[in-house]
Amino acid sequence: GMSGIISADSAAFRKKRTGLKKCSSMKMRCSANAHSRPQRLQGNMSGKRHGYPQRRKKGTGKMRVLEAKFVQGFMRMADDGWNQGWHERNGGNLTYRIKKEETESIREELSEDGEWKEIGTAVPALAGEYFLVTGSGKYFRNVMSDPEDSIAVIELDDKGENYRICWGLVNGGRPTSELPSHLMNHEVKMQATGGKHRVIYHAHTTNVIALTFVLPLKDEVFTRELWEMATECPVVFPDG
């Protein structure tokens, strides 16, 4: 009886010991694999943990443009305006003159097959420039949820008289109907500021609209009133 118990215990011990060896061997292999791919694991963890879009292969297009910081900032600005109540339905429009290095960062995703279309004005100083623009009839509320349908990257020709769509507006459409006035303002602002100013934003800002009914329509009057309403205003626009 005793020998049977010892024999059974010995067999169980050997089985347990064998299992420990296998487990230990697996741990060593797992540890070795983990140390051999630290950058890959860390990169994947970082992207998923923070909710960042994962980089896709060259040529897919969908995420590469949307990963660009200037595009994300444009989308956030449009969304902020909607949340402020500045854009009823398809009201308002936003355009941004893209920096050369930003254009290069998304160059491989920009199409050169788009049809050239007349701007409706001539802006020779902006010849060859690229712009990020909202679409005509598109809603600011949809820019964040469906950017490829709501916004576009456009290129101007070498005379500043025509444009073509290089990315976006995938379901058809055209840039904001106020593109001519935006581009004329961009041209003036670029020349006046040495290229510093890059954004033209048309919004229906509720409080400012209300002030137009109670204040004289003069720059200096509005400037003074806004300066007195919020201490941040003189910091944001010290020149009025």
Structure confidence by residue, pLDDT tens digits, 165-211: 999 999 999 999 999 999 999 999 999 999 999 999 999 999 889 99
* 174/138 Cα distance (integer angstroms): 10
What is the average pLDDT value for the chain, to the nearest integer?
81
Question: Model's pTM, two decimal places?
Answer: 0.71
pLDDT at 34 exceeding the cut of 50? no
pLDDT (0 to 100) of residue 188:
98
* 209/228 Cα distance (integer angstroms): 17
- Catalytic, 178? Answer yes
Lowest mean pLDDT among 6-15, 92-101, 108-117, 219-228: 6-15
pLDDT at 26 exceeding the cut of 50? no
pLDDT (0 to 100) of residue 51:
38
| Number of neighbours of residue 31 by Cβ within 10 angstroms | 10
pLDDT at 236 exceeding the cut of 50? yes
The predicted-structure confidence for 78-137, as pLDDT tens digits, reads as follows 999 999 999 988 889 999 999 999 999 999 999 999 999 999 999 999 999 999 999 999
Kindly indicate the confidence band of residue 52, based on its pLDDT and cuts at 50, 70 and 90.
very low
pLDDT (0 to 100) of residue 122:
98
Q: Which of 141, 136, 128, 129 is closest to 175 using CA atoms?
A: 136
Q: Which of 133, 150, 152 is closest to 141 using CA atoms?
A: 150
pLDDT at 48 exceeding the cut of 60? no
Percent of the chain with pLDDT over 70: 74
**SS3 category, 104:** helix
- Among 178, 220, 225, 232, the active-site one is 178
pLDDT (0 to 100) of residue 86:
94
Percent of the chain with pLDDT over 90: 70
* 240/237 Cα distance (integer angstroms): 5
